[in-house]
């Protein structure tokens, strides 16, 4: 099956693209884009992979669904397009960067491309969503695909940092090999839970300390 995705990811995930579930998922997604408004724009479905090749991944941040409002979703978990007001979770992420690292975030834009280009894979569990219908593309096959992404990273790479915010991400990351990778867990940065363990969790300094220890360049958060 021909899927337009960055070449190193295409090689790592070719088995998934040949599976029947993925063919059914692709058919469903194609029909949704034809019949209704779906986010992100089709060219950005695999944006996270295109900006962060398999060989360059250092950190993985797991999200759940793309944003379902106009001009928000751009294919990167927690990110929004340039010029769009920062969503509450991202505002809290930036607050934690400031207290954790004693500096402002490297960019106040919400698009997070600067992280992606440094090796931060911002992976949503579900890569598409109908406009204004949160969760509308769940249980169609995306979760199985993104589980395979996590597994191939865990199995084939070493010394990655997996940042798992909230119960959903922590369950999804259950197959990560903790003997080879650093797993950072805390509450979700959403306003509903940020004060229950996200603020003060210091994920950014922990990630960088681990990368430096393993002779990798730290991330300029």
Residues that are catalytic: 65
Q: Is the Cβ–Cβ distance between 42 and 33 less than 8 Å? A: yes
Q: How many residues does the chain have?
A: 221
Name beta bridge partners: 38. Answer: 130
Quick check: helix, strand or coil at residue 169?
helix
Q: How far is CA 173 from CA 70, 76, 87, 219, in A?
A: 29, 18, 24, 21
Measured on CA atoms in the order 176, 181, 186, 187, is the torsion positive or negative?
negative
Distance CA 171, CA 173 (A): 5
Of 54, 75, 59, 55, nearest to 148 by C-alpha is 54
Contacts of residue 146, Cβ cutoff 8 Å, sequence gap at least 6: 123, 124, 125, 126, 127, 172
């Amino acid at each position: 099956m021909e899927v337009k995705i960055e070449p190193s990811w295409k090689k790592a995930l070719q088995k998934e693209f040949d599976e029947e579930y993925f063919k059914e998922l692709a058919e469903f997604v194609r029909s949704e884009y034809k019949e209704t408004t779906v986010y992100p724009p089709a060219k950005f479905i695999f944006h996270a992979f295109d900006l962060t090749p398999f060989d360059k991944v250092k950190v993985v941040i797991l999200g759940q669904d793309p944003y379902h409002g106009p001009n928000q979703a751009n294919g990167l978990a927690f990110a929004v397009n340039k010029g769009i007001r920062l969503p509450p979770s991202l505002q809290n992420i930036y607050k934690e960067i400031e207290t954790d690292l004693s500096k402002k975030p490297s960019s106040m834009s919400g698009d997070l491309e600067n992280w992606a280009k440094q090796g931060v894979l911002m992976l949503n569990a579900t890569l598409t969503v109908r406009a204004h219908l949160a969760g509308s593309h769940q249980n169609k096959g995306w979760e199985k695909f993104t589980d395979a992404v996590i597994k191939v990273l865990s199995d084939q790479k070493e010394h990655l940092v997996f940042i798992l915010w909230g119960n959903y991400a922590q369950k999804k990351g259950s197959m990560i090999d903790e003997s080879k990778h650093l797993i950072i867990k805390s509450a979700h940065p959403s306003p509903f839970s940020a004060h229950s363990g996200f603020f003060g969790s210091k994920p950014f300094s922990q990630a960088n300390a681990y990368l430096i220890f393993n002779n990798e360049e730290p991330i300029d958060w």
